[in-house]
Amino acid sequence: MSKILIIAEHDGQALNPSTAKTLTCAAAIGGDIDIAVFADSVDAVAAEAAALDGVSKVLTVETSGNGFRLAAALAPKIVAMAEGYSHILAPSTTFGKDLLPRVAALLGVAQISDVMAVLGSHEFQRPIYAGNAIVNVTVPADQVMAGTVRTASFAAAGAGSSASIESAGSAEAPSHTRYVKLEASGGERPDLQSAPRVVSGGRALGSEENFDIIYQLADAMGAGVGASRAAVDAGYVPNDMQVGQTGKIIAPDLYVAIGISGAIQHLTGIKDAGTIVAINKDAEAPIFEVADIGLVGDLFNIVPELTQKLA
């Protein structure tokens, strides 16, 4: 039977929703599931993890000075804890992507990135070529399977349980790697990665000031805000708002793409959205090939009108 260790992601205070999604993937593999929480102060996060349905136990590891953010601090400890586990999973977020290959290499095993479906205990589906192809991959059953989980492919596990919480010691960052700071741009709006509605703007907005109309529409809808790479590169919005192959892969119920052409790298990030709405002045824009509802016209007229009618 499988025995699975999930590495929890959090910001120091609260569990990131990606952890509950990774848990759903683990449950599809089946077996005993433990969650490891590395934190400077473990209690609140561990309690949240212990409440998730289907968890056998939560193992806490104390770090200091934001060490829980550093792969070099976590990886050796995870390897020390790996004994007896058949699978080690983390979400395919920047946290998990940074961490898990370091763990896999220390264990001398391969890693499967971006698991999107579980076909068997050691067989999975994952996207390659920016999602232009989906492949079945198999890893040897006699090795630990290390994998990152594409969170847009799994719903979050429920919470209402109370698994036991045990200390598994501490982890120290090696002196060669030092955390300095995090500049988080996130504001009051719903988190892009878990928001049920997302409004995104592209290059067409033309400036940081003009991007305001996107925020206003998002607020009228109670939506999170995203952007194309072109809008981020041009400095209209910060990097953490980028949606796509190299940004965030999201699966909201409603995605509204405004002044975004629909490049393949952008579409990779929204394939699993429920309903896609596109607003673009070019009727030939590729975004309309995937949009459920399309409206051709000038966004500078359409967006304020829509905002007003929703208010």
Partner 1 sequence: MKILVGLKRVIDYNVRVQVKPDGSGVVTDGVKMSINPFDEIALEEALRLREAGVAEEVVVVSIGPGAAQQQLRTGLAMGADRAILVEADEEVQPLTAARVLLSLVEKEQPGLVMLGKQAIDDDCSQTGQMLAALWDRPQATFASEVVVADGVATVTREVDAGLETIEVDLPALITVDLRLNEPRFVKLPDIMKAKKKPLDEMPLAELGVTAGNFVSTSAYAPPAQRERGIMVEDVDGLMAALKDKGLV
Ligand X SMILES: Cc1cc2nc3c(=O)[nH]c(=O)nc-3n(C[C@H](O)[C@H](O)[C@H](O)COP(=O)(O)OP(=O)(O)OC[C@H]3O[C@@H](n4cnc5c(N)ncnc54)[C@H](O)[C@@H]3O)c2cc1C
Contact call for residue 207 and partner 1 (CB under 8 A): no
Among ligand X, partner 1, none, partner that 1 touches (CB below 5 to 8 angstroms by kind)? none
Contact call for residue 270 and ligand X (CB under 6 A): no
Q: Pick from 178, 207, 282, 311 the residue near partner 1 by CB under 8 A.
A: 178
Element (H, E) at 302: helix 299-310
Annotate 230-269 with b (16+ C-beta within 10 A) or e (fewer).
Answer: bbbebebbeebbbbbbebbbbbbebbbbbbbbbbebbbbb
Exposed, middle or buried by CB within 10 Å (0-12, 13-18, 19+), for 88?
A: buried
Residue 113, token pair as written in the block: 């990135």
How many residues lie near ligand X (CB under 6 A)? 27
For helices 17-29 and 94-107, the axis angle rounded to 10 degrees is: 50
Q: In the complex, what is the shortest distance from the CB of residue 245 to ligand X, in angstroms, rounded to a whole number?
A: 4
Residue 86, token pair as written in the block: 């058949």
Contact call for residue 13 and partner 1 (CB under 8 A): no
Span 98-117, contacts to partner 1 by CB under 8 A: 98-106, 108-114
| Alpha carbon separation from 66 to 30, 152, 177, 202, 302 (Å, rounded) | 32, 27, 11, 34, 45
Contact call for residue 228 and partner 1 (CB under 8 A): no
Among partner 1, ligand X, none, partner that 150 touches (CB below 5 to 8 angstroms by kind)? none
Q: Specify the residue, 155 or 293, whose C-beta has the smaller distance to partner 1.
A: 293
Site string (113-142) toward partner 1, x via CB under 8 A = xx------------xxxxxxxxxxxxxx--
Among ligand X, partner 1, none, partner that 231 touches (CB below 5 to 8 angstroms by kind)? ligand X
Contact call for residue 228 and ligand X (CB under 6 A): yes
